[in-house]
Structure 1
Amino acid sequence: MATRTQEPGLAASTVTDPTTGAALAGRRRRITPGRVINYVLLVIVGLIFLIPLYWLLTAALKPSAEIYSWPLTFIPRSLELGNFVQAWSSAPFGRYLVNSAIITLGGAALKLVLAVLTAYAFAYLPFPGKKVLFLLMLGALMVPGHVTLLINFITVGRLGLVNSYLGIILPGVASAFGTFLLRQHFLTLPGEVLEAAELDGAGHVRRLISFVVPMARPAVITVALLALIDEWNGFIWPLIATNSDEMRTLTIGLLFLKANEGVDNWGAIMAGTIFVVTPMLVLFLIARRYIVSGLAGASISR
C-alpha cells in the first residue's frame, strides 16, 4: 500500500496532530476583549441605522392616536392599513412613481455608460493631457452639487428643457465618482488578457464589451447601484427643473403629501415614505454582495 510522505516540521504537525489542530481551532474561537468591543460597536451602529427604519414601518401601520401616545409603543396595537390608501390618494403617487422610474432608469443608464467609456479611456488610452484631465475630474468630486444648480437651470432653460425628462436627467449624467471607481478597478485587471485580445484583432469596443466589463462586473454593478440610488433620491434638482405635478417625482411627492396632510397625520406621511424607501432597499439587498467586492477592487491600482 502506498503511503503519503509528509515534510517534517510545523506544517506536518499541524496537519496530522489532532491536539494541535484543536488548539488552533480553540484560538480561533477564543473570545477576546477586543473582539467583544468590536461586536458591541457593530450592534450599536446597526441599531442606529435599523431603529429609524423600524420606527418608519411601525408608524406607517399605527393609527394617529397611537403615534402620539405616551409611553411609546414599539409594536402597533392595531394595524392601520388605511394609511397607505390615504397616502396614495392624497397625492398622485401613481404619476410620481412613473416619473421616478423613467428618470431613474434613464439617468442611471446614461450615467453608467458614460462612466464606463470615460474610465476605459483614462485606464487604457493614451491621449494628450490625460493626467491633467484626470486631476480635474478628481477636483469635481470636491465641488458640492448645489454650486452648479443655477448654471444648470440657466442652461436647461435656454435649451427649452424645463419641465421635461431630459431637463432632469442630462445635467447629472456625468459621474466623477463612478468614473474614478471604474478607472481604478480597470487598472487592476490582468493586462495579459487585453494584450491577447489585441493580438487577435479586437478593437477597443470589443475589448471593452467582451473583456473589460465582464471582468469588472462587481465594480460596474456597484456604480450602477449607486447611480440608481442617486437618481431615485434626487430632490433639489427635480424640484427646480419642474413646474407641474405631471413631472414631479416621488421624493417631491412626499413634500406635497406633508403639505396636504399637515403634521397631524404622520401615519399617512410615513406610509408615503415607505413607497419611496422600499424599491431602493430591495435593490440594495439584492445587489449588496457586489458592493464590497466592487469597492475593494478599486482600492488597488497601478
Structure 2
Amino acid sequence: MSTDTMEPLVLGDAKDDGTAGAERIRGQAPQSAAGRVRLILAHIAVYVAALIFMLPLIYAFFSALKPNGEMFAMPPRLIGSEVRWSNFAEVFEFGPFWTYIGNSLFVAIAGTLVVLFVSTTAGYAFGRLRWRGRDAVFVLFLATLMVPAEVLVIPMFQVMQWFGWVDTFQALIFPFAFTAFGTFLMRQFFRGIPYELEEAARVDGAGAVRTFLRIILPLSTSSIAVLAVFTFMSFWNSYLWPLIVTVDYNAHGTLPVGLASFSGLTGTRWDLQMAASIISMIPTTLLVIILQKHLVKGIAMAGLGGR
C-alpha cells in the first residue's frame, strides 16, 4: 500500500526535476550568450580607449622622424616626405643631453629611495603603532595635500637659500621627499595586515623595528612598488622646481629643463624636441612594464586598509 503510494510521487518528482532542469538550461543559454556579447563589447571599448590615448604618442613618434620644416605642414600628415632616424642621434649633439639624462636618473632614483624610506616608516608609525595624538597628527599631515605646490615654491626656495643648497642636487631631492601621499598609501596598506602576525613576532621577542623589517616590509612589496613608480615619475617629470632652483643647467639641469633648451631666439627645433620627448619616456615606460604585476596588485589592495 505504501509502496504503491510512494512510487508515483517519486516518479512525479523526477519528472518535475527533469522539466525544471530543462527549463533552467533553456533559460541559461540566452544569458550566457548575452554575457559573452557584453564581454566582447567591453574588450572592444577598452581597445578603442587605449587607441585613443595612444594616438598622441603615435603622432609624436612619427613627428620625431619628420624634417623640421614639415612639422606644421597643411594638411597634416602622419609620415613626412622622408624618415629621419638621425633626429634621435642629433638630439645628443644639440646640447649636454646625456648630462640631463644622468641628472634626472640620479635625482629620480635618490628621491624615490628617500621617499620610500620616509613613507614606509611614517606609515608604520601612523598605521601600526599606538601613541597619543596619532590620529590628530595624521589629519594635520594629510591637510598638506590641499596646498598647491606652486604656493610652496617661494618658501622652499628661501629655505634652500638658508641651507646653501641652491643649484645643488639636495635642493632637487629633499623638498619633495616628505609628502603625505606616500605616507597615506603605506598606512592604508599596513592597516590591512593582520595584527596576529605582529603579536606573534612580539611573543618571539621581536621589537618594533625588527617586526617592521622582517614582517611588515616583506608583505608590502606590491604597495611599495606602486609608490616607487609614482614617485619616480613625479621626480622624472618635475619641471617648475628644477627650473627655479637650478642656476647652472649644464651641470645640474634635469631632462624636463633640457627639453626646453630646444627652443631659443632662433626658433624651435620641433623635430629634435619630439625625438627628445620620445627618449625621455623610455625609462618610465620600462619601469611600468617591469612592475606591472605589482602595480595591479598594489593598487587593488592599497585601499583596503582598516577593513
**TM-score, structure 1 length as denominator?**
0.86
Q: Does 1:251 align with 2:263?
A: no
Q: Return the offset for 1:187.
A: 0.7
Mapped to 1, the partners of 2:74 and 2:198 lie a distance apart of 66
Aligned twin of 1:213: 217
Farther off after superposition, 76-85 or 100-109: 76-85
- Cα deviations across residues 176-216 of structure 1 (Å, max 9, x unaligned)? 11110110011111221111111111111211111111111
Q: How does 1:54-133 map to 2 (within 5 A)?
A: 54-75=58-79, 78-133=82-137
Residue type of the alignment partner of 1:74 = L
Distance 1:24 1:208, change over 3 A: farther
**2:270 equivalent among 251, 266, 270:** 266
**Contact map agreement 2:188 2:304 (CA 8 A) in 1:** yes
Q: How does 1:42-57 map to 2 (within 5 A)?
A: 42-57=46-61
Q: Does 1:146 align with 2:142?
A: no
Q: Which runs of 5+ in 2 are unaligned?
A: 1-16
Aligned twin of 1:194: 198
- Cα deviations across residues 102-158 of structure 1 (Å, max 9, x unaligned)? 111111100110000000000111122101111012211121111111110000001
CA RMSD of aligned residues (A): 2.6
Q: Return the offset for 1:47.
A: 2.7
**Contact map agreement 1:58 1:74 (CA 8 A) in 2:** yes
**Contact map agreement 2:239 2:256 (CA 8 A) in 1:** yes
Mapped to 1, the partners of 2:276 and 2:302 lie a distance apart of 37
Distance 1:23 1:178, change over 3 A: farther
Aligned twin of 1:4: none
**Contact map agreement 1:90 1:260 (CA 8 A) in 2:** no
**Contact map agreement 2:63 2:79 (CA 8 A) in 1:** no
**Contact map agreement 2:63 2:78 (CA 8 A) in 1:** no
Farther off after superposition, 68-77 or 108-117: 68-77
**Contact map agreement 1:61 1:80 (CA 8 A) in 2:** yes
- Cα deviations across residues 37-59 of structure 1 (Å, max 9, x unaligned)? 64454344323320111111111
Residue type of the alignment partner of 1:167 = A
State the secondary structure of the residue aligned to 2:281: helix
**Contact map agreement 1:181 1:295 (CA 8 A) in 2:** no
**Contact map agreement 1:187 1:301 (CA 8 A) in 2:** yes
Aligned twin of 1:10: none
Mapped to 1, the partners of 2:126 and 2:277 lie a distance apart of 40
Residue type of the alignment partner of 1:63 = P
Q: Does 1:290 align with 2:294?
A: yes
**1:236 equivalent among 216, 220, 240:** 240
**1:280 equivalent among 279, 284, 301:** 284
Residue type of the alignment partner of 2:190 = F
Farther off after superposition, 63-72 or 30-39: 30-39
* Structure exhibiting the larger radius of gyration computed from Cα positions: 2
Aligned twin of 2:7: none
Q: Which runs of 5+ in 1 are unaligned?
A: 1-12
Distance 1:22 1:81, change over 3 A: farther
Q: Return the offset for 1:86.
A: 2.1
Mapped to 2, the partners of 1:258 and 1:282 lie a distance apart of 28
Aligned twin of 1:7: none
Q: Does 1:226 align with 2:256?
A: no
How many residue pairs were aligned?
Answer: 286
State the secondary structure of the residue aligned to 1:141: helix
